[in-house]
């Protein structure tokens, strides 16, 4: 008898499990809209040309494979903070940002969660309802208590702004408020700049600490600066804040696990201390992060020609998704005779569309139509082609009614 008899089978992951089910489906019509990964119009994975160029450069230079320091590659940490805040931002100029390379967005969030657990015992993290499924896992595993604030309003298929403000106000003073910097996952609904100002007001009033998750910088609008506007607005108020970053989507570096955690402090002295403690958390977890993705980012962002190429390619990717979004809306509006207003699809931004399909309707999408998606009704438009929009519209209309 096994010593592991007491270990029960874990359920499949609600997002990555969708890809497993997709792979097992043998029907030719199958469509994987589960995981948020960019595909070409031919529905193939895409490696950015600028990434290939950076990798060729790295090969030519014959760079070594020595360990990185615990905090990661210095050149990466510099450019990642600059990309987020803008190179001339006073928080950078004055050395107030503690930046540590992390294992992409997830690993960076996990480092921050460990920091909160250790230095803010009992403090709660408020997360949006709904949110990316892994947020809850991350805080659970880090033993950080969390609760939800209202975000999505099913009646308007839009933002429940008053609910959000009320719940942030009602949270215990000094809570961490987790915010999606842009392209909210899964809803695709972002606050306007005026709304961000009001959110910042209540967070300041209640002495909360904003904690941004920025997994889609450049992917929402096509512009890196525009997508960082929320974070910069908070930083400009002189607030202390946390920001987790990921290069999975905007540089297509999913498997390289490259991202960072940034902690903006009110003094450079505090930033140095925070950084030292983040390193202390990272060391027993994984010692030091991988170098390859960090070099790619540092090479691209640090070189004006490559940086420009990246921005062009990102616009292209964001543009393809916008095109698919429009076509899906057109197909739904033309095919659906029920009079339903589908314009919410056009209002949403980023990789995803939140269709409003419930669990059993989402099951119908998969079981009858071979369309794989998460059970909360989210579809990844990055995994959709123009050619498949009509088919998807048929599936959605059939599942709705």
Residue 130 near ligand PMP by CB under 6 A: no
* Residue 257, C-beta contacts closer than 8 angstroms, at least 6 positions apart: 103, 104, 107, 289, 290, 293
Minimum gap (Å) between residue 113 Cβ and ligand PMP: 12
Residue 366 near ligand PMP by CB under 6 A: no
Closer by beta carbon to ligand PMP, 107 or else 222 = 107
Going by the DSSP 8-state scheme, the letter that residue 39 receives in this structure is: B
Q: Are strands 241-246 and 371-372 parallel, antiparallel or unpaired?
A: unpaired
Instruction: Tell me, by CB under 6 A, how many residues bind ligand PMP.
Output: 13
Among 191, 259, 290, 293, binds ligand PMP (CB under 6 A): 259
Scanning 45-53, 121-129, 246-254, 336-344 for contacts with ligand PMP by CB under 6 A, the matching segment is 246-254
Residue 256 near ligand PMP by CB under 6 A: no
CA 199 to chain centre: 20
Closer by beta carbon to ligand PMP, 187 or else 362 = 187
Residue 353 near ligand PMP by CB under 6 A: no
Residue 113 near ligand PMP by CB under 6 A: no
Minimum gap (Å) between residue 266 Cβ and ligand PMP: 26
Q: Are the C-beta atoms of 246 and 215 separated by less than 8 Å?
A: yes
Q: Which of residues 142-201 bind ligand PMP (CB under 6 A)?
A: 180, 185
- Give catalytic residues, as residue numbers: 132, 213, 249
Minimum gap (Å) between residue 250 Cβ and ligand PMP: 10
The residue ranges of DSSP E strands in 174-280, in sequence order, are 176-180, 209-214, 241-246, 258-264
Residue 352 β-bridge partners: 380
Rounded Cα distance, 54 and 292, in Å: 10
Q: Which of residues 85-104 bind ligand PMP (CB under 6 A)?
A: 104
Rounded Cα distance, 257 and 259, in Å: 7
b/e per residue 371-386 (b: at least 16 CB within 10 A): bbbbbbbbbbbbbbbe
Residue 106 near ligand PMP by CB under 6 A: yes
Rounded Cα distance, 37 and 33, in Å: 9
Residues at the site binding ligand PMP, with contacts judged by CB under 6 A: 36, 104-106, 132, 180, 185, 213, 215, 246, 248, 254, 259
């Amino acid at each position: 008898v096994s010593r592991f008899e007491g270990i029960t089978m874990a359920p499949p992951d609600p997002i990555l499990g969708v890809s497993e089910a997709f792979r097992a489906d043998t029907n030719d019509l199958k469509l994987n809209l589960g995981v948020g990964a960019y595909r070409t119009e031919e529905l193939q994975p895409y490696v950015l040309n600028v990434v290939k160029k950076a990798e060729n450069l790295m090969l030519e230079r014959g760079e070594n494979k020595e360990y990185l320091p615990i905090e990661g590659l210095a050149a990466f940490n510099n450019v990642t903070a600059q990309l987020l805040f803008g190179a001339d931002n006073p928080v950078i100029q004055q050395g107030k940002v503690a930046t540590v390379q992390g294992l992409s967005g997830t690993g960076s969030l996990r480092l921050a969660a460990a920091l909160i657990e250790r230095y803010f015992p009992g403090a709660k993290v408020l997360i949006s309802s709904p949110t990316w499924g892994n947020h809850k896992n991350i805080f659970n595993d880090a033993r950080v208590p969390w609760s939800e604030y209202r975000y999505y309003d099913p009646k308007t298929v839009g933002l429940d702004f008053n609910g959000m403000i009320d719940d942030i106000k009602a949270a215990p003073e000094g809570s961490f408020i987790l915010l999606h910097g842009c392209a909210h996952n899964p809803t695709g609904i972002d606050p306007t700049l005026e709304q961000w100002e009001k959110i910042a007001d209540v967070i300041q009033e209640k002495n909360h600490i904003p904690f941004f998750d920025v997994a889609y910088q450049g992917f929402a609008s096509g512009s890196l600066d525009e997508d960082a506007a929320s974070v910069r607005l908070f930083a400009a108020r002189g607030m202390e804040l946390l920001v987790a970053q990921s290069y999975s989507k905007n540089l297509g570096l999913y498997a390289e696990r490259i991202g960072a955690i940034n902690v903006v402090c009110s003094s450079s002295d505090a930033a140095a201390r925070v950084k030292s403690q983040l390193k202390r958390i990272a060391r027993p977890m994984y010692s030091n992060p991988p170098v390859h993705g960090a070099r790619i980012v540092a090479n691209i962002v640090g070189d004006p020609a490559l940086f420009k190429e990246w921005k062009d390619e990102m616009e292209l990717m964001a543009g393809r998704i916008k095109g698919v979004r429009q076509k899906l809306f057109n197909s739904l509006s033309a095919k659906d005779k029920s009079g339903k207003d589908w314009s919410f699809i056009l209002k949403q931004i980023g990789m995803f569309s939140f269709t409003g399909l419930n669990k059993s309707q989402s099951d119908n999408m998969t079981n009858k139509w071979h369309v794989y998606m998460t059970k909360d009704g989210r579809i990844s438009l990055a995994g959709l082609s123009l050619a498949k929009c009509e088919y998807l519209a048929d599936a959605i209309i059939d599942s709705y009614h």
